[in-house]
Chains A and B, each alone.
Chain A
């Protein structure tokens, strides 16, 4: 076949593919954008209500019905920051909370640092086995002063989920909050996320708080003293993603009664409910998502009256990846976790007893979270090819791209308005311009790369490849001496 013939064949193929796919893709495009508009609308309604609440906010110091909270902190090789983190957790404004640190077989000085800082003494305690755990517990320590509400458990290394399950067994309060050791909590964060439990103590089973990237901010003794923008574009763009996910997505879903995802960096649960469903699944990649799905399933299977709510106030700050390598690993893991959990709970789809979860939230996650990168990848392949072969009108294609990415920017800007209106965490004007720039730049390269990484994660799961946890290289905070 001659070169011209080959090109002609390819051109015919591309034309055929575009003919066949154009209508479904336009329908998909309309559906995804309409769903985003609906979520923006719901988030707007929720924020209007939140704004009214904030304008009439009453000081609540957690008196009366505030349930006790156990902060569960899994730690693996965190010698650099663990003492500061635990001290900051212990001094949060809350009337009754304890910190349970599980040293997951660290090979560094994590335990030694804690032992020295808090003068730990070993307790001959046996932990309950309410949540099954495979790894061996090596011992339990408490501070010698008898007052500081800290429990340190050492165990053989077996991963974050198992470490949290051990912490659940060691926890003594009715609510458990799962926190990463490198997260920074707002001083009033616990008061915000426990409030729904105090307001509706018999129905509330889980709440999630908003997470923000801490990169670039000034941190002193485990507290943020000045919120700043990250210094490079990769974390800046993630800040934009976090704004969108938390201020539009989860707020909208919470308003709709269909919240199925609570971030692993900060989630608060009723301990008895987590125990009842068996704790975190140590074999799951998306263990946080999986846990929330399991809770929904159990509650609805048993016809129980329950609530899962999202609290839009910023509660926790976390360090996000600064390099493409770490980001790639994270996105692969997230998408793999999404796929495996959605697949595991496919039986809940369109079943009346699962209500909005089965009819709205899960179909949305299948269509617009799981499949979206596949279709976007298809677009990334076919559009340049079609342009190259001259089978599409160039101005038409450019307009379509501008429309598609312009819509993405619009969604981000909506989240920005909400953030500025309700929380205004960034003082500097420069932060506004940088966030706007990040929302545009996100569509040039970053978005396409994450599409590919998400597909990689999905593909590796379909091929049954064992997931290898990457190392999240922390650059640490710009800690000033206290």
Chain B
């Protein structure tokens, strides 16, 4: 009897839960539909001035002014749309839209929301402050880099990018390797990319960080931004970093900003005892560097057991003028050389 009662009870619970889930599916969809309709209805009268401002046609500021008059829920919906637009537009239209946000009090509200209990509110607040380029909030955003929620840390780093204050570079880079509260490397890299030349020292220090992701971001950006101050650290990372991804990134960076003396260090890591991906990265970097001092080493690699490495070496030699071309003499029938020549001629023809 107990077994049967239990079975009936369990069946009722399961079927009841199924019914609840069906109701939930329907409710989720109905709520989304009605919210979309409401937003659309509230936004429709504001859409013409919004488009005028966003398309840079509000010369007399009348459309901007009209947008500042929005109140209540319309204002909330409008501000949400403006924030979304600010991720895509720049210049005067962006400044005008930021002004609308300021008049609406959205910037001040965002400052207050940075300490909200809701993760989503804190994150959106940080994003708004960044898109509004609220420079005075940099210290608050730096604090938010240590927030318990990843979304908030991510948004704070993102916000520091458009503001572009190099003071924030150190905390952003350090946040990547923060124990338990790390910052995604991609967001950190994007934020740092937008900051001025004042971050070169920070990047140099970052290449000595114990966390491999931090070292990688620092090495990558040093190359991207051509910060030659970081060259000694890049050479050190290429030589002896325990992480092969960091070494490859350093090789690529050296290829972008290195000097003649870097040929030797790159050549040293093309030997076959090194990981193949690193050898290839070094050969590509030698080609980027374009220093004729690399010609003898690259010529040796034409006979390498790895056909791709041989072709990369041939391609690098083809970019090195007469010295490079003469090193290819005698190798005309090699598949690597023929392939590299053909690819170069196809690319030349399409240029």
> How close is B243's CB to chain A, nearest CB, in angstroms?
5
- Set of chain A residues within 8 Å of B246, measured between Cβ atoms: 202
Contact partner of A417 among B24, B216, B335, CB < 8 A? Answer: B24
Contact between B11 and A403, CB atoms less than 8 A apart: yes
Given A198-B185, A199-B187, A417-B25, A56-B127 contact (CB < 8 Å): yes
Cα of A403 to Cα of B21 in the assembled complex, Å: 16
> How close is B326's CB to chain A, nearest CB, in angstroms?
21
Contact between A417 and B120, CB atoms less than 8 A apart: no
Contact between B308 and A432, CB atoms less than 8 A apart: no
Contact partner of A58 among B158, B213, B276, CB < 8 A? Answer: B158
- Set of chain B residues within 8 Å of A128, measured between Cβ atoms: 306-308
Contact between A200 and B18, CB atoms less than 8 A apart: no
Q: B342 near A: Cβ within 8 Å?
A: yes
Q: Which of B33-65 contact A (CB under 8 A)?
A: none
Cα of A66 to Cα of B152 in the assembled complex, Å: 22
Contact between A145 and B186, CB atoms less than 8 A apart: no
Contact partner of A63 among B26, B150, B185, B190, CB < 8 A? Answer: B190
Contact between B14 and A403, CB atoms less than 8 A apart: yes
- Set of chain A residues within 8 Å of B26, measured between Cβ atoms: 432
Contact between A123 and B189, CB atoms less than 8 A apart: no
Interface size band for A: 35 or more
Cα of A416 to Cα of B20 in the assembled complex, Å: 12
Given A202-B212, A403-B14, A130-B276 contact (CB < 8 Å): yes
Interface size band for B: 35 or more
Q: B193 near A: Cβ within 8 Å?
A: yes
Contact between B339 and A124, CB atoms less than 8 A apart: yes
Q: Which of A42-101 contact B (CB under 8 A)?
A: 52-53, 55-56, 58-60, 63-66
Which chain A residue lies CB-closest to B211?
A: A202
Q: B311 near A: Cβ within 8 Å?
A: yes
Contact between B22 and A436, CB atoms less than 8 A apart: yes
Contact between B15 and A402, CB atoms less than 8 A apart: yes
Interface string of B182-207 (1 = CB under 8 A from A): 00111101100100000000000000
Contact between B346 and A56, CB atoms less than 8 A apart: no
Contact between B342 and A124, CB atoms less than 8 A apart: yes
Contact between A65 and B186, CB atoms less than 8 A apart: yes
Q: B32 near A: Cβ within 8 Å?
A: yes
Interface string of A142-178 (1 = CB under 8 A from B): 1011110000000000000000000000001010000
Contact between B14 and A406, CB atoms less than 8 A apart: yes
Contact between B184 and A199, CB atoms less than 8 A apart: yes
Contact between A399 and B7, CB atoms less than 8 A apart: yes
Interface residues of A (CB under 8 A from B): 52-53, 55-56, 58-60, 63-66, 121, 123-128, 130, 142, 144-147, 172, 174, 195, 198-203, 271-272, 275, 396, 399-400, 402-403, 406-407, 409-410, 413-414, 416-417, 420-421, 424, 429, 432, 436
* Cross-chain pairs A/B with CB under 8 angstroms, 17 sampled: A52-B120, A52-B123, A53-B150, A56-B152, A63-B190, A123-B343, A130-B276, A200-B185, A201-B216, A203-B213, A400-B7, A402-B11, A413-B21, A413-B22, A420-B28, A420-B29, A432-B25
Interface residues of B (CB under 8 A from A): 4, 7-8, 10-11, 14-15, 17-18, 21-22, 24-26, 28-29, 32, 87-88, 119-120, 123-124, 127, 149-152, 154-155, 158, 184-187, 189-190, 193, 212-213, 216-217, 220, 224, 243-246, 275-277, 306-308, 311, 335-336, 338-339, 342-343, 346-351
* Among all A-B residue pairs, the 3 with the closest Cβ atoms: A146-B346, A199-B184, A198-B186
